[in-house]
Chains A and B, each alone.
Chain A
Amino acid sequence: MTPNLPIQLEFSNKYDSAHALQYFHKHRAGLARRLSDWRDRQLARRALQLAGDPGLVLDLPCGAGRFWPLLGEQPNRVILAADNSPHMLEVARREMPPALAGRVHTLHTSAFAIDLEAASVDSIFCMRLLHHIADPAHRLAMLREFHRVTRDTVIVSLWVDGNYKAWRRRRLEARRAGRPGENGNRFVIPAATAESEFASAGFAILGHHDFLPGYAMWRVYTLRKLA
C-alpha cells in the first residue's frame, strides 16, 4: 500500500442522494429502530463522557448527521463533520437542526487521508465505519491517520466477537460457505484483534461499552492517544 494512493472502499460508493435521504429517515421508523437508536445514543454519550467531554469533535463519517444533536448536547462543543460522500453531507446539511447550524462545520474527506493538520481535534467520533473494513492493513492505516489527526481521544464502534449474534453469524456463514452473502460488506473483528490493532496504532484503551453485553455485536471503544 502506498501512502499517496487513497484507499477506496467498495461500500462507500452506494451513498448517492436518494440513498442518503433514506439513510436519514432509517433511524426514525419503528419501535425497535427507535429503541436501538436510543441505546446507540446512550453508548455514544457514555463514550464521550469517558473521553472527557471533548470540545472539538470530528464526526467521521457523519453520514446524515444522525449523531449531531447528541454531540451538540454539550453547549460549548464545536463539531467538524466529515464524510466521504458529498451527497450525505448535502442531505445532512439540509436536515440539520437549526440550533446546531452555527456549530457544525462539514468537510468532504476520506477517513484514510483526513484533510486536517496533525493534532487538530480533541476527539474523533467514528461510528459504524470500522466494521466495513475487512483488511487489517486498511484498518491500521485508518487508525494511524486518526492518531495523527486527534490530539487526545478516538471513539470507534465496531462489531466484536464473544457474543450470541457473532456466534450465530459465524454459523450462518459456515452454512452458506461458497455462496456469496448479499451483505458481505460488514465484518466481525475479534475483540482481541481489534485491541491489539489499537495498541499498534498507538492508542491506549480507556474503556468500552457494549450495546447489549453477551448478545449484540456492537461495541464502542474509547481510546486515548499515547504520545
Chain B
Amino acid sequence: MADKQPLARRILLSFMLLTALIAGINAWAIIAVVHVVEEDLIGDEMRQEMEMVETVYLTEGRIPDLTGGSALYVPTLKAQPLPAAFAGLHPGYQEVVGENGAWHVLETSIEGHRFILARNQDAFEAREQMLYKVVVGGFLLAIVLAWLIGRLTVRRVIDPVIRLAGQVRGRDSMHELAPPLAPEYGDDELGQLAGAFDQAFGQLRRAIERERLFTSDVSHELRTPLMIVGTSAELLLRGELSGRARRQVERIAKAAGEMRALVEVFLQLARAQAAPAAPEAAVSLAAMAAEQGEVWGPEITARGLAFVVVSEAAMPGVWHATLLRAVMGNLLRNASHYTERGEIRLILDAGGFRVEDSGPGIAADERERLFDSFVRGSAARGEGLGLGLSLVRRICEQQGWRIEAHNLAGGGSCFSVRLGRF
C-alpha cells in the first residue's frame, strides 16, 4: 500500500516525526528538571541533618546516631574505615560513585574535625529508573498514538481521493445514465473536485454528441448530391462518349461510388449504439470475401501482384455489410498500396479473417500509431489521407471486433480481424 501512496506515507511520516520531536523535548525536559530538583532537595536535606549533628556535637559533645539511611563519618573521632571512594572529597555537597553504589556526600569542618555525611542513592536510583521508564514509555506511546491518528487522518483524507480517482478512470465510456460524482462527496474540497470532474465529463459528452450529430448530418446531406453525381455519370456512360471522356467519366463514377460507401460508413459510425444489422444489410464472411475479391482482385493483379483468397475454416453468422465491407476493403487497399511485389492473401478462418501481404512490413515505431487518423506509413504512396486504418479501428471498436497487426516471419505484414464480441 505504502509504495503506491507516497502522499499517505508522507502524511504519516510527518505526523510521527513531529510527535517524536515534541515528545522527545518533553522527555528530556522532565529528566533534566528531575535531576536539578533532586540535587537541590537532597542537598538541602543533608545540610539540615548536618546542622543537627553540629548542634548536638557542640552542645552535648557527642556524635549523634543517625536514623533514616544516612551514615556519618568522622575519621578523627570515630574508629571507622572510610570507604575508598571518599578519598578525594572536598568540603560541600557532591555526588560520589564508588564500588558499592552512588552516594550523596556532604563534607563540613566542625572545630577542625572533618564531618562526612553520606547517603546511599540506591533507593532513590530505583525511583529514578522508574521515572525514566515512564518517560520512555510515554514517548513511545505518543509515537504509537501519532501513528494511529495519522492512519485515521490518511484514511479520512486519502481514501476518498483514491476512490474518486478510481471512479474517474475510464469514465468517458460509461452509460449516459451514470450519476454525477459530486453528491457522493461532502461539501468540501473533494466535493468540489468531484464537481469539477462532473462538469468536465459533461462537456466531453456534449462535445462527442455534437461531433456525432455533425458527422451524421453531414453524411446525410452528402448522400443526395453524391447520388446525383453517381447516377449522372452512369447516364453519361450510356450515351456516346469519346474514349478520353469515357475514361474521365468512369473515374468520376468510381470515385462517387467510393465516396458514397465512405459516407455510409460514417453514418453507421455516427449512430449512438452498435445497432444490429438489418436482415437485408447482413452478410456472411464468405460472401463479403467473394465480393471484395471481385472488387480488389483485378486491381491488385493489374499492379503485377498475385491475389489469393484462402478459406481455412467457415465461420457461421452474419455481419453488418457496410461496416464489414469497409474493414475488409480498407485492409485490402492498404495491403495493395504498400506491397511492391509478391502476393496479397485474404484468409478466412474460424474467428474472422486476415489480410497478409509480402510488403515491407510495419516498422516497430509505427506499430503504435498505425491506427491513428492521418498517420501514413513512412513509405506512403498513392492517394488517400491515411484515414483508412483509423476508420477500420473505429468500426472494430464500435462493433466489438478486434484488430491486430503484426509482421510475418517470412517478411510482410498481417492484419487480423476477430469478429464477434470479446
- Which residues of A does B touch, CB under 8 Å? 2-5, 52-53, 55-56, 74-78, 80, 105, 113, 116-122, 144-145, 148, 151-152
Contact = CB atoms under 8 A, between A and B. Distances in A.
Contact of A118 (B173, B181, B318): B173
B122 to A, nearest CB: 58
B348 to A, nearest CB: 14
A28 to B, nearest CB: 29
Given A56-B175, A119-B173, A151-B170, A4 B422 contact: no
Contacts of B274: 117
B316 interface: yes
A152 B318 CA distance: 31
Q: Can you list the 4 inter-chain pairs with the closest CB atoms, starting with the nearest?
A: A3-B420, A4-B317, A120-B175, A119-B173
B6 interface: no
Contact of A121 (B174, B180, B316, B421): B174
B184 interface: yes
Given A2-B317, A55-B181, A78-B178, A119 B166 contact: no
B91 interface: no
Query: At the interface, is chain B mostly helix, strand, loop or mixed?
Result: loop
B55 interface: no
A4 B350 CA distance: 13
B326 interface: no
Given A55-B167, A55-B179, A118-B173, 4 more contacts: A3-B421, A5-B317, A120-B174, A152-B170
B178 A145 contact: no
Contact of B175 (A2, A3, A121, A148): A121
Given A75-B183, A77-B179, A122 B174 contact: yes
A117 B273 contact: yes
Interface residues of B, number: 27
A77 B264 CA distance: 39
B184 to A, nearest CB: 5
B90 interface: no
B316 A148 contact: no
Given A2-B316, A117-B274, A119-B170, A56 B422 contact: no
Given A4-B317, A76-B179, A105-B177, A53 B421 contact: no
A151 B173 contact: yes
For A4, A77, A113, which residue has the most chain B Cβ atoms within 10 angstroms? A4
Contacts of B167: 52, 55, 122, 152
B269 to A, nearest CB: 13
9 contacts: A2-B316, A3-B420, A56-B177, A76-B183, A117-B173, A121-B174, A122-B174, A148-B400, A151-B169
A21 B230 CA distance: 59
A142 to B, nearest CB: 12
Contact of B179 (A56, A116, A118, A151): A56
Given A2-B316, A119-B170, A80 B177 contact: yes
B175 A52 contact: no
Contacts of A75: 183
Contacts of A5: 316-317
Nearest to A79: B177
Given A3-B421, A55-B181, A76-B179, A151 B317 contact: no
A82 to B, nearest CB: 12
A105 B419 CA distance: 30
Contacts of A121: 174-175, 178
A58 to B, nearest CB: 9
Contacts of B420: 2-4
Nearest to B273: A117
B171 interface: yes
B321 to A, nearest CB: 15
B78 interface: no
Nearest to A152: B166
A120 to B, nearest CB: 4
Contacts of B419: 3
A21 B169 CA distance: 40
Nearest to B420: A3
A148 B184 CA distance: 26
B163 interface: yes
Contacts of A80: 175, 177
B179 A145 contact: no
A94 B156 CA distance: 41
A4 B316 contact: yes
A145 B169 CA distance: 20
A120 B173 CA distance: 6
Nearest to B185: A76
A88 B370 CA distance: 47
Nearest to B178: A56
